[in-house]
Structure 1
Amino acid sequence: ERIARGVMGPLKNKFKRHFEELSLGNGKEKEAEDPEDEIPDEIRVAEESESESEAEGDATSSEDESVLSFEDVGDGESSQEDTETSEDEEEVEENVNEEREAGPSVPTVDEYEDDTSDEEDIRNTVGNIPMHWYDEYKHIGYDWDAAKIGKAPKGDQLDDFLKRMEDPDFWKTVKDPQTGQNVILSDEDIELIKKIAQQRIPDGKFEEFAPWVDWFTSEVEKMPIRNIPEHKRSFLPSRTEKKKISRYVHALKMGWMKTKEEREAAQEQRGPKFYMLWESDTTKENMRRIHDHVAAPKRPLPGHAESYNPPQEYLFDKKEMREWKRQEQEAHKRKLHFVPQKYRSLREVPAYERYVHERFLRCLDLYLCPRANRMKLTIEPEYLIPKLPSPRDLQPFPTHETLIYVGHSDIVRTMSIEPQGEYIVTGSDDTSIKIWEVCTARCIKTIQMKDIVRSVAWCPNGKLSLIAVASGQRLVLVNPETGDKLIVAKTDELLAEAPESDLLDPDRLKSAVQWMEPEGLEHKTGLRVIINHFKQIKQVTWHGRGDYLASVMPDGAHRSVIIHQLSKRRSQFPFSKSKGLVECVIFHPVKPLLFVATQKSIRLYDLVKQELMKKLMSNSNWISDIAIHPKGDNIIVSTYDKKILWFDLDLSTKPYQTMRLHKEAVRGVAFHRKYPLFASGSDDASVIVSHGMVYNDLLQNPLIVPLKKLETHEKVNDFGVFSVVWHPSQPWIFSTGGDKTIRLYT
């Protein structure tokens, strides 16, 4: 009712002024229409409510009688009543204004009360940015109306102290980083912070100490609560889990599944991953129309021959000019497509006659010839060098000289060692053989021969004490009379009498080989059997069992190789035709095979089938020596052209590896029976020890590593080391040289 009364006064005055303006507008008199027709609906509602309130009110009330109405305005009452009415209107207007400022009396509903968006409460709209960006400005951001939010005044330490002493809410006041204002925390916020600090559940409605509900009592019941029979799967292991466990175990064995520690270590090793936002950062932008464009090749730059004043050697003489004209039909074979000419100055150079034609051909090439990018494989030289293990990891092997055996007066050409490794025998150009004790370097026995000793070989059978000596045209079997006396006596007993045989040797064999028994002084010195040959013997070698031995006569043509059987005292020619100049032969350690080395090749013969099995090509000019691995699948060959060849019989007929370790001719090679070692001796007076591991796996190639170069021999008349021999059980090596000495390296 008060609102209606307060609104009516200003509205009446407003409409009066409005009607007066209408009546006086533009200097024309207009009839004023009924003001009640112009009154809005709101005013009419207010008048009706006012009239109803007057009718219901008390008639005796003096205040209600003084209320101004539309009828009172038009009746022309006394001035006293008008004054009272105006005062009442002013009082009502003041009350209305106060109520407007205080807000509506009707309770309003907040439509954002249930809104859970966090952004509705943000007063600073700068976003989630570091607020220290505004340190240099007077404001700290912008509100929703884009107005600057000023910074709160900062106090000094004295102000902080006074607030701490006087303000009771100082301890729960925090600073809002978004607006810079101080915010006082409520009791709910403080309680929430306390619970979080104590690691308790922040929710205030959560009942932390709820009453315990004892679902199962401690009283023992007579009847079971649950009496369902157990299922079969409850006491049998699960097949599904068994399969899962099997898969996990297999994954662990194969290394597919890793533990948590292994995954964390791998993640730390990989480091963080970074990805490009745009593809153009790493890849070239292709052309819009032509993809993978290949640039045209540039024309070659002109050389000295195209100069107007070329050097004299670039000008054609008569012979070159005839050759150039002869190739007119085959112009692509010409080195130059023009004839070089010489001029005194650049001004005298005429126009090039073939310029337009060559440019036309160039355009045809660019237009018609397709272009392609060739993948060029670039291999660094380091990748071609095999990675070899360190020599320290391949010990033991001989590294230094230990003993020197001195006693011969001329070149020591050959040497052999006893199967037990206690004695060695050497042959020299001074026509003598000497037997040495290995550990003391003492010469035990010297046996004089009639000619130069070119080869000696100790019988590999440990039950016999026998040495084969090739001296001139004689092959002599010597009993050194060292070692066990029973073995020495047994050897003499076996060689005392020749076995009887009904077979008659052919005349061809009798003319080449004669078996003889020494007598007198020769027998006393230790000679037991003498086999005379028709040519000079270069090499003698034993079979692994010690019953057969072979002799080599390079000048014997198709009778260069003769095999002798000691038990029957018979000889035979294994070959009927000559395949070249034979240098040396060697028996296979396990199979009935014979390796025959000529000057440029090695032939492998089967002695049982009497046929050629394989021919190995050495790609060298002259073979000097050959040695076979104890397993029999690999051989090494030394040549006079400074090379050492390793052949893998199961791999190829060509060398598996060619080693150029020496500076001069290589005269001897040898394998160790027990250790993966081999050695070579050369005329450069050096012995090179190498590691040669042969694996049982046929798919794995042999490992060859040079280990040590031993240089203690002296060169005499361009001769260095003649032969090398390994100790049968120790990693020791013996070498003979042109300096008349034998040296032991350990």
Structure 2
Amino acid sequence: MRSSEKKQVEESKKAASNGAVVSDINGVPSVPDSAREDISNATSESEDEDWHNSSSDNDGDSSSISDNTDESSDEDDEDTKAINEAMLDYMGALEERRQREALGSEEEEPRSARTEVESDSSEDEVPSRNTIGNVPLHWYKDEQHIGYDLAGKKIKKKEKQDQIDSFLAHTDGSKSWRKIYDEYNDEEVELTKEEVDMIRRIRAGRIPHAEVNAYEVPYVDWFDWDGKGHPLSNAPEPKRRFIPSKWEAKKVVKLVRAIRNGWIKLDKPKEKPKFYLLWGDDLKATEKTANGLTYIPPPKPKLPGHEESYNPPVEYIPTQEEINSYALMYEEDRPKFIPQGFQSLRQVPAYSEFIKERFERCLDLYLCPRSRKKRIDIDPESLIPKLPKPKDLQPFPNICYLEYHGHTGPVVSIAVDPSGMWLASGSMDQTVRLWEVQTARCCRVWSLDGPVRHIAWNPRKDLGILAISLQSKVLLLDLELGTSDPDEVSKLLALNPSVMDNDGDGALVTWMKHENLKALEVKHSQEVLSITWHHKGDYFTSVAPDANTRAVLVHQLSKQQTQNPFRKLQGRVVTAMFHPSRPFLFVATKMHVRVYNLVKQQLSKKLMTGLHEITSMAIHSKGDNLIVGSKEGKICWFDMDLSTQPYKTIKNHHEDIQAVAFHTAYPLFASCADDSTVHVFHGMVYNDLLQNPLIVPLKILHGHSKTGGRGILDCCFHSNQPWLFSAGADSVIKLFCD
């Protein structure tokens, strides 16, 4: 390119950047924008022709170029074409930049700016800007980004144009038809000229690349027949091809011998397809007649028995009064045959019901359809659940180790302290006794004003406080044990002066100091039958079934306050217990167990026992399972995560169940009843909610005698050991060990 022409190109570029009218090197003004695309296409076609001409010229001999007399004119034409091409590319890029600035777009450089033509191979593709892979894009519809780039940074979504802007951009843009939206990278890709040409060739059914010639490989004829008058081998045929083969004859003889001996079967019988009725009966069980119907033999008539003897013993012959009474009975209860006595067989008259019975049998054979009942042969052992052996579930209490004697009346309630060292018992002889567990020695005896109904030990180890219910009072007794803190116990059992001012006629209970004992007294309006402590040792409940709306009261020892959580109770309350770890209160009435949420102050669940009258209740240490005992001798196990119906119902006692108990450390529970027996069970509760609890009966403990129609009145487990205490109406407490 000459220096003058280069200067002219630079001046035209500056003029184009300043917005002036641009002309080519010959002084011709530029073409308008609407016709720029047609000019570029025409120019590209001329460029292709020039390229082919130049390539063909280059393939010629170099000497032909040197011999050309118009060499200078050809160089001028080539420089002019290069300048025109550069000008057109520059003007196109300038116009695209103006359109982007007008639309406010921040798109990246189009793919047309790429210098090299991409191939159709996946290895040559430009790597994607988005690295999320081939995942559905609707996962990112609510996000502000569409994925992540190679550096791990979020790719923000671009602002979408409205319909008016997109329409104007499509109308004004000369190359808008070449743009394709890439939704994975959130960008518009402009197709190059080569890619558009490739798409057109594919749609026309041609090879994508124009430079590929599918027929450039010439045909090669591997055989040349010119001048060849004979085949490859012209040897004469040998004699062996015209005589029978000796070895084939031996093979035929061998096959004939095998066929005659039956070793080879030529015609195998075709197997007929076996069809059967999909919903039909077993063909082996019933035979079919010629008409295709299943034949079932008729039932055989009943043969005469001993009651139809012609000369029965006299005691089997009914009197006339008995015969008359048969007429007053229902027909189905009336005897079918009335025996009679005859001296000899020839005196027996004809059977009066013979014709009637034969007629009814014929009607049955004619009208009644027959059916064959299939009896299912089931092994009775398979119906019994497979449970582990009791010896594999040790330890559990099975022998009587100690007996505690001292009470003169029935022992109605027993309780073990949290440390497991002491045992407290309450009896109808109006005394409460403190026993040493390992020696059965009675350490203390407290004489009270009335028979004891129930006792409960405070669950805190540092507080030696025992709650005792007798008549309409609840005593909070200081046992003065060496393990308890005397200052804290004295502070808790000291009467609060503010409580004395609040006591009046409308108070729920009356808190007062006991006159003779070191105890705090809570006086109720009716007789208290049950007491239970909260696991933290500050709250306890008292149940007085005859107190109507005040049947269940919740007391707080530290503040000496009483609350009535229920305005109305449905049914007679038997007992009430706190949940071991959650703010729930279980209230057992005669037929149902209601679970109340103390935080929300509403009913959470209602357990349907299906029993006539509940007598006792115990809650598992995890709190999700509980058992109830009834006067029918049944135990109902409830899994509250499973259902409000009983998971298992066990009928193990013959008389009323008096108490049920769970062990706090071992998978054991027990029940005692008036039949003077204690049943010990293995009750394993799993942490996996998909696995049901395992219940296995282990041992039936005997040893108490029945007194006044009462047997064992209470039972409880040791705090740490697999031991069981039982208290009976015979005034004896027994310890069963493993």
Q: Same fold (TM over 0.5)?
A: yes
> What is the rounded CA distance, in whole Å, between the counterparts of 1:739 and 1:708 in structure 2?
22
Tell me the CA shift for residue 694 of structure 1.
1.6
Q: Give the corresponding residue for 2:415.
A: 416
Give the counterpart letter for 1:494 in structure 2: L
Q: Which residue of 2 aligns with 1:517?
A: 513
- Aligned Cα root-mean-square deviation (Å): 4.2
Report the CA distance shift for 1:637/1:365 in structure 2 as closer, same or farther (over 3 A): same
The question of 1:640 aligning with 2:636 is answered no
- Aligned with 1:730 (options 702, 721, 729): 721
Q: Secondary structure at the match of 2:294?
A: coil
Residue among 694, 697, 721 paired with 2:685: 694
Alpha-carbon separation, structure 2, partners of 1:341 and 1:440: 74
What letter corresponds to residue 498 of structure 1 in structure 2?
Answer: N
Question: Given that residues 288 and 295 in structure 2 are in contact (C-alpha distance below 8 angstroms), is that contact kept between their aligned partners in structure 1?
Answer: no
Deviations 1:20-56 (A, max 9, x none): xxxxxxxxxxxxxxxxxxxxxxxxxxxxxxxxxxxxx
> 1:675: how far off?
1.0
Between the aligned partners of 1:618 and 1:651, the Cα distance in structure 2 is 14
CA gap of 1:534–1:125, structure 2 versus 1, over 3 A, is: closer
Q: Does 1:543 align with 2:523?
A: no
C-alpha distance in 2 between matches for 1:124 and 1:491? 110
Larger Rg: 1
Q: Pairwise mapping of residues 138-149 of structure 1 onto structure 2 (< 5 A)?
A: none
Q: Is the 8 A contact 1:305 1:314 kept in 2?
A: no
Aligned equivalents of 2:622, 2:560: Cα separation in 1: 30
Q: Distance in 2 between matches of 1:536 and 1:299?
A: 71
Which stretches in structure 1 are left out of the alignment for 5+ residues? 1-108, 130-277, 325-332
Note if contact 1:670-1:726 (Cα within 8 Å) is conserved in structure 2. yes
Map of 1:474 onto structure 2: 473
Aligned to 1:604: 595
Q: Is the 8 Å Cα contact of residues 343 and 349 (structure 1) preserved in structure 2?
A: no
Q: Which of 544, 556, 561 does residue 570 from structure 1 map onto?
A: 561
Q: SS where residue 550 of structure 1 aligns?
A: strand
Q: Which residue identity does 1:702 align to in structure 2?
A: P
The equivalent residue for 1:670 is: 661
8 Å Cα contact 1:639-1:666 kept in structure 2? yes
Task: Check 1:312–1:496 CA distance in 2 against 1; reply closer, same or farther (3 A cut).
Answer: closer
1:447 deviates by: 2.2
Cα deviation, 1:79-110, whole Å, max 9, x if unaligned, reads xxxxxxxxxxxxxxxxxxxxxxxxxxxxxx99
Aligned partner of 2:155 in structure 1 is: none
1:365 aligns with 2:367: yes
Q: 1:697 to 1:316 in 2, by over 3 A?
A: farther
Structure 1 position 585 matched with structure 2 position 576:
yes
Q: Which residue of 2 aligns with 1:453?
A: 452
Residues 592 and 607, structure 1, Cα contact 8 Å, conserved in 2? yes
1:275 matched to which residue of 2? Answer: none
Distance 2:352 2:379 in 1: 49
Which residue number corresponds to residue 148 of structure 1?
A: none
CA distance in 1, matches of 2:571, 2:459: 29
2:616 maps to amino acid? D
Structure 1 counterpart of 2:494, one-letter code: A
TM-score by length of 1: 0.55
- Give the superposition deviation at 1:663: 4.0
Whether the 8 Å contact between 1:468 and 1:475 is mirrored in structure 2 is yes
Separation of aligned partners in 1, 2:554 and 2:388: 43
Q: Which amino acid aligns with 1:515?
A: W
> Contact conserved, 1:413 with 1:429, CA < 8 A, in 2?
yes
Counterpart code for 2:491: E
Structure 1: which amino acid aligns with 2:477?
V
CA contact (8 A) 1:316 1:340 kept: no
Structure 2: give runs of 5+ residues left out of the alignment.
1-242, 264-273, 276-282
| Equivalent residue, structure 2, for 1:77 | none
Corresponding residue SS for 1:591: coil
SS in 1 for 2:488: helix
Q: Supply the AA of the counterpart residue of 1:584.
A: T
Q: Is the 8 A contact 1:687 1:709 kept in 2?
A: yes
In the TM superposition, what is the alpha-carbon distance from 1:705 to its structure 2 partner? Answer: 1.1
Alignment partner, residue 15 of structure 2: none
Cα offset, 1:677, TM superposition: 0.3
Shift of the 363–416 alpha-carbon distance from structure 1 to 2, 3 Å rule, reads closer
Structure 2 counterpart of 1:150? none
Q: Are 1:443 and 2:434 counterparts? A: no
For residue 491 of structure 1, what is the amino acid of its counterpart?
Answer: V
Distance 1:339 1:283, change over 3 A: closer
Query: Residue 702 of structure 2 corresponds to which residue in structure 1?
Result: 711
CA 350–446 in structure 1, closer or farther in 2 if over 3 Å, else same:
closer
Q: Is the 8 A contact 1:605 1:613 kept in 2?
A: yes
Given that residues 287 and 295 in structure 2 are in contact (C-alpha distance below 8 angstroms), is that contact kept between their aligned partners in structure 1?
no
Structure 1's 308 and 392: CA in aligned 2 closer, same or farther, altered over 3 A? Answer: closer
Q: Which residue of 2 aligns with 1:298?
A: 299
* Selected match of 1:493 from 491, 494, 502: 491
Name the counterpart of 1:142: none
SS in 1 for 2:459: coil
Shift in Å, 1:592:
2.5
1:566-601 alpha-carbon deviations (Å, 9 max, x no partner): 222222333333533322222222232222223333
| Distance verdict in 2 for CA 1:480–1:127, change over 3 Å | same
Compared with structure 1, are the counterparts of its residues 626 and 303 closer, same or farther at alpha carbon in structure 2 (3 Å cutoff)?
farther
Structural mapping, 1:528-539, within 5 Å:
529-539=520-530
The answer to whether the 8 A contact 2:452-2:468 is kept is yes
Deviation at 1:470? 0.8
1:700 Cα deviation from its structure 2 partner: 2.7
Shift of the alpha carbon at 1:456?
Answer: 0.9
The one-letter amino acid paired with 1:398 is: P
TM-score where L is the length of structure 2: 0.55
- Aligned-partner Cα distance in 1 for 2:318–2:579: 67
**Given that residues 294 and 373 in structure 1 are in contact (C-alpha distance below 8 angstroms), is that contact kept between their aligned partners in structure 2?**
no
The one-letter amino acid of 1:365's match is L
Tell me: CA distance 1:358–1:592, structure 2 relative to 1, closer, same or farther (3 Å).
Answer: same
Give CA deviations for 1:472-499 in whole Å, capped at 9, x if unaligned: 22101111121335x2321212333527
1:205 alignment partner in structure 2: none
1:541 maps to a residue whose letter is T
Change (3 A) 1:721 1:357: closer
For the pair 1:626 / 2:624, whether they are aligned, the reply is no
Residue in 1 that maps onto 2:266: none
Residue identity matched to 1:389: P
Asked if structure 1 preserves the Cα contact closer than 8 Å seen for 2:309 and 2:339, the reply is: yes
CA distance in 1, matches of 2:413, 2:335: 66
Amino acid at match of 1:399: N
The one-letter code matched in structure 1 to 2:680 is V
Partners of 2:284 and 2:253 lie apart in 1 by 42
Give the CA deviation at 1:516: 0.6
Aligned to 2:674: 683
Aligned equivalents of 1:435, 1:337: Cα separation in 2: 69
Q: Which amino acid aligns with 1:716?
A: T
Aligned residue pairs total 470
Hey, what's the Cα distance between the residues in 1 that align with 2:380 and 2:548? 48
CA distance in 2, matches of 1:313, 1:112: 110
Residue 397 of structure 1 aligns with which residue?
396
Q: Secondary structure at the match of 1:551?
A: strand
Q: Residues 296 and 428 from structure 1, CA distance in 2 versus in 1: closer, same or farther, beyond 3 angstroms?
A: same
Q: 1:685 to 1:284 in 2, by over 3 A?
A: closer
